Amino acid sequence: QNLYSLINATSDLVWSVDPDYKLISANEAFKKQFQLQTSIQAIEHVSLIHDSYPTEVVELWKTLYNRALNGEEYQIETELVNKDGRTEYMETHFNPIKNESGFITGTGCVSRNITERKNQEIKIQHQNTLLREIAWMQSHEVRAPLANIQGLISLIVSNIDEDHEHYDYLNKIDLSCQKLDSQIIRMVMKSNEVEQIIKSEQDSIYLTST
């Protein structure tokens, strides 16, 4: 009764299957979700893999269960589209269940909805992509024409005398170009700093959610 209360105190899906993929135990969250997804009731000692499922679904879940039944502990992320069209992300852990002799008697599974975390990660990835695009534009698409202007100015200056009426103007333009180039470099560095901060926040979000 205590164990039953424990697994039902969470919204995570908790279940276990034997080597024949028959349900050993499950919490109410799993049973509800299983019936919602398959229109079939999850019953203890009855296989969770039905012939009515598409072949690719049957093969997928057999492969997932077998990995744990062969002794592997692992986790996967899956993307689901609900009936209302919303996309949700699930993180599922698979762990072998062993008896006192160390023999594997089943697979324990815990599946958690990570949609909020995943959406934040996607948002951060989008921000990082924009930052990289901005940094690229600043360091290449902006600096390249600026370098051309500086080159042309140097070429003109080298072909006129210092007492030429435009000599001082050209030097001032060249000085302004150098200052502008320095500002562009600073902006690129700032963009890289912001990207690192966002990455740190992303790592923090992941650690907090797990």
DSSP state of 22: B
* Backbone torsion region of residue 21, taken as left when φ is above 0, otherwise alpha when ψ lies between -120 and 50, otherwise beta: left
Q: Is the overall model pTM greater than 0.75, yes or no?
A: no
What residues contact 101, with CB distance under 8 A and at least 6 apart? none
DSSP β-bridge partners for residue 79? 89
Per-residue pLDDT of the chain (210 residues; tens, 9 = 90+): 777 777 788 889 999 999 999 999 999 999 998 988 888 899 999 999 988 888 888 999 999 999 999 999 999 998 877 767 788 899 999 999 999 999 999 999 999 998 888 888 878 777 777 777 777 777 677 777 888 888 888 888 888 887 777 888 888 888 888 888 888 778 777 777 766 766 666 566 555 555
Going through 58-159 in order, the beta strands assigned E by DSSP cover 74-81, 87-98, 104-113
Distance separating alpha carbons of residues 186 and 50, to the nearest angstrom: 61
